[in-house]
Amino acid sequence: MRLAVWDVDEPFRRWRDALIQHAGELRLAVQVIDACADPDAQADFALVWHPPAQWLAGQQQLRAVFNLGAGVDALLPLMRAHLPEVPLIRLQDAGMGRQMADYVAEAVLRAYRRMDDYAALQAHATWEPLVLPARGGFRVGLLGLGQMGLAVARRLQALEFALLGCSRSGRQPDGFDFPVYAADGLQEFLAACRVLVVLLPLTQSTRGLLDYASLSRLPRGAYVVSAGRGAVLCAEDLLDLLDQGHVAGATLDVFDTEPLPADDPLWRHPRVRITPHVAAQTLVGPAAAQVMRKIAALERGESPGGVVDPDLGY
Ligand code: GLV
């Protein structure tokens, strides 16, 4: 069984070693190919992160393509164009949930404890205790309740923040009892968020969803954390609302254009904190273990989790 890896961000041998290590009973049958070095080799399974369309188009015998990340927005159009019959499978958590929970918890605590205000006071050597927001009214809204959203929900619940959620279906996630709004309740949901955490996948229905009109529904002084996909949120509209003081601050990990261009005003906005798409990074060990488990399931004729629904886009 031939596994081709296309990932220019990670040394190939790390993937090869981890895949062999987690191959279990398939170990002797598995051959791992560096697709970047040998683009003509044909494989049964592909493990990819931002592969070129031309390479995908040249693959004739693939049984499945694994996206080496959670979001498939970049890969799905290529699959539709070149391999419409081949299932696309995404990573499910694989160590990313904990990272995302860390990232969002830091931002929420920072907003709640008014750390940006204290940083501004420190810049002027000003000793001034500030009023803490009432905990009960400091409601954190999770927009997107997939693997990442629920990992964040677990952490914020452990930190005793009041939560609310919004997802396409509005389905109540197992084990949680916070209020959940469906997509048609977005405006009502936004009006109730003191902090908005955006963890939606990028699809036709979510692109540009958070525009001026939607973001204006947030209560004055709300804080925004965006760590799913940049194009869900209109950055210019967010900047306008930050400048008006309607939005108090933002922690942004994802952007419509990445890397964020050096002249983008977001970089220099005093109420914006920027990280370079690092909130939840693919971990080679857990990702390889998960891919090998999914391949073993396919070999047994079972359906592995994480198969992307092309119509939904995730
Ligand atoms: C990262 O953004 C991912 O989709 O895994």
DSSP characters for 28-39? GG-EEEETTT-T
205 & 147 share domain? yes
Range of the domain at 16: 2-94+282-299
- Tally helices (H) and strands (E) across the chain: 10, 12
Ligand 1 center to 130 CA (angstroms)? 37
**What's the pLDDT at 252?**
98
206 & 157 share domain? yes
Mean pLDDT of 68-79: 96
Does 288 fall in a domain?
Answer: yes
- Examine the residue annotation and report whether 171 is marked as an active-site residue of this protein: no
204 & 243 share domain? yes
Does 306 fall in a domain?
Answer: no
Cβ atoms of 289 and 18 closer than 8 Å: yes
Does 314 fall in a domain?
Answer: no
50 & 143 share domain? no
Q: Is 230 in the pocket of ligand 1 (CB under 6 A)?
A: no
Q: What is the pTM of this model?
A: 0.96
- CA-to-CA distance for 122 and 187, rounded, in angstroms? 37
Question: Partners of 148 in the beta sheet?
Answer: none
Write down the mean pLDDT value for the chain: 97
Tell me: the pLDDT tens digits for 212-248?
Answer: 999 999 999 999 999 999 999 999 999 999 999 999 9
Q: Is 69 in the pocket of ligand 1 (CB under 6 A)?
A: yes
What CATH number does residue 155 fall under? 3.40.50.720
Does 304 fall in a domain?
Answer: no
137 & 167 share domain? yes
Length of the chain: 314
E-assigned strand segments in the chain = 2-7, 31-34, 45-49, 64-67, 88-90, 140-143, 163-166, 180-181, 195-198, 222-226, 247-252, 272-274
pLDDT above 70 covers a percentage of the chain that reads: 100
pLDDT band at 82, cuts 50/70/90? very high
**Residue whose C-alpha is closest to residue 60's, from 78, 36, 85, 77:** 85
**Residue whose C-alpha is closest to residue 254's, from 198, 207, 211:** 198
290 & 170 share domain? no
259 & 128 share domain? yes
